[in-house]
Amino acid sequence: MPLRLTPEEDGILAGRWGEPAGRALAMQMAVGEFFGAREMVPVASAHLTGDSESMGDAGLAFVEDLVRQGARFVVPTTTNARNVDFDLYRELGQPEEVAAKERRLRELVVAMGGVALDSCTNYQTICQPLFGEHLAWGDTGTVIYANAVAGARSNFEGGPASYGAALTGRVPAYGMHLPECRFGTHLVEVRDSPRTVSDWGALGVFVGRQLTNYWLVPVFTGLQVAPGGDALKQLGATLASYGSLAMFHIVGVTPEARTLEEAFGGRAPRARIVVAPGALASIYRSFVPEKEKADLVVFGTPHLSLFEVRLLAELLRGRRVHRDTMLLLTTNQPVKALADSMGYTAVIEEAGGKILAGACYYIMTPRELARRHGFRTIVTDSAKLANIIPASGYNAIFRPTADCVEAAVTGRISA
C-alpha cells in the first residue's frame, strides 16, 4: 500500500514551502516506502548528524545548496558533535582545512534556523525528549536514549535524512515510531550487576556483541541497582554501537517496561541471555593491550556530563598526568562553561589534562593525530569509543574510570 499524504503534505511536495522542503519530502517518502510506511508523522525536534569530515565535500555542497535556495528549518533543530574544538585544534595539530569546513557547516545550519549545540548528549543539555513524542534525531546514542529512557520515538535519522526532517517537520512512520517495533525480543537476566558507570558500558558490550540487529530489543531484568542518567547513557550508546540497537527496556525503570509482560507486549522472548557473575570483568579483560605504555587517555564518548567532569576533577586533584601520555576529556560547550565556573577545568588542566568543547575523539581526525603524536594505545572508560576507534588504527583498551585515571597519571595500563 503506498504512503498516503495529508493535504498539507501534498502542498509541501508541490513546493508550497519552497523547493528544498519539497525535495526533502520526496526523499523521505522514498525512504518510508522502502520500509513500508503508510503515513508521515510530525516531529517535535530534529538533531542533525554529520560533521563536515564524515559528510565530506558532497555533504557540505548539499547543505550549501539548501541555503542558496532559502531553506528554513520548521522544528527546533540542533547539531551533533563536531570534529574540532575551535580553541584547541591548532595546539593538537589538526588540519586547518578541517576546522574551516566545520565552521562553514555550522554557519549554514544557523542560517537555516538551527542551533549549533555540537553535542551527542543533547538530551542532557537543552533537548529533553518527552514520552510519546516523535523525533527526528541522528546519532545512535541520542536515539536509543530517547526511545528507551524517555519513551519518545525516533529512528536513526542519518545525514541528509535528519536535514530533510528539519525542513518538513515530519518523518515516515516506520520502525521505532510504531508500537509493535518497540516491544522486547530478548530477555537479559543480569546476575552480575554493574557497580560503576563504565560497568554499564561493559554490560552493553556483553549484550551488544550478541544482538547485532537494529530490530532487536533487549529487556533487562535482575538488576540489583538502579541506574542514573549517566549509566543509562553509557548502556544505550554501547548497545547502539555494538549491536546497532535503537531500543532497550529495563523492567521497573524505563517507562514502557513497568512489568515484564508490558516490555514484551505479552509475547514470549525469542531467546534468553544470562549475564553470569564475572561477566563484566571478562569484558574489560577482552581488551588486551599490545604494550604496557598508555599513549592517550580519553573520556567522553558520549559527551561527559558535569557530574562526570566533577568526578574526574576529584580523581585528578593534586596529581599530574605522565609526561608521555596525553589526557583528553570531551564534552559540550554548556557543560564546559559550567566546569569552568565550578573550578573543575582548572583542576584538570593543572593536572595536565585538556577539556575539549563540542568535539568527539573518534571524528577528530584520529589518524592524523596518531601520526602527529605517535598514538597507538588509547585507554578509555567509553565502551563506544573502544569499539569505534580501532578502525582508525588504534589499540583500544576499555577500563573502569578510576583505572583510566591511573593510566593517565602513571603512563601504564592495568591488567
Tell me the backbone φ, ψ of residue 49, rounded to 5 degrees.
Answer: -95, 170
Share of the chain above pLDDT 70, in %: 100
Strands 77-79 and 170-172: unpaired
Predicted pLDDT of residue 141: 95
Tens-place pLDDT, residues 58-105: 989 999 999 999 999 999 999 999 999 999 999 999 999 999 999 999
pLDDT confidence bin for 54, thresholds 50/70/90: confident
Write down the pLDDT at residue 325: 98
The average confidence (pLDDT) of the chain is: 96
Mean pLDDT calculated for residue range 354-359:
98
- In this structure, of 42-51, 187-196, 392-401, the range with the lowest mean pLDDT score is 42-51
415 has a pLDDT exceeding 80: no
The mean pLDDT value for 174-178 works out to: 98
pLDDT band at 56 (very low <50, low <70, confident <90, very high): confident
pLDDT of residue 53: 76
- Decide if pLDDT at 50 tops 80: no
pLDDT of residue 288: 96
Instruction: Please report which confidence band the pLDDT of residue 51 belongs to, taking 50, 70 and 90 as the band edges.
Output: confident
Cα distances (angstroms) measured from residue 392 to each of 81, 92, 232, 242, 398: 18, 17, 27, 17, 16
CA distance 196 to 412: 22
Which residues 6+ apart lie within 8 Å of 318 measured at CB?
A: none
Count of residues for the chain?
415
Q: What is the mean pLDDT of residues 228-240?
A: 98
Q: CA neighbours within 13 Å on the CB side: how many for 337?
A: 5
Greater model confidence, 413 or 50: 413
Whether 191 contacts 276, CB under 8 Å: yes
Reported as a pLDDT band with limits 50, 70 and 90, residue 52 is: confident
For 368-381, the pLDDT digits (tens) are 999 999 999 999 99
pLDDT-derived band at 144 (thresholds 50, 70, 90) equals very high
Question: Which pLDDT does position 300 carry in this prediction?
Answer: 96
pTM for the model stands at: 0.96
Q: What's the pLDDT score for residue 363?
A: 94
pLDDT given for residue 414 in this prediction: 76
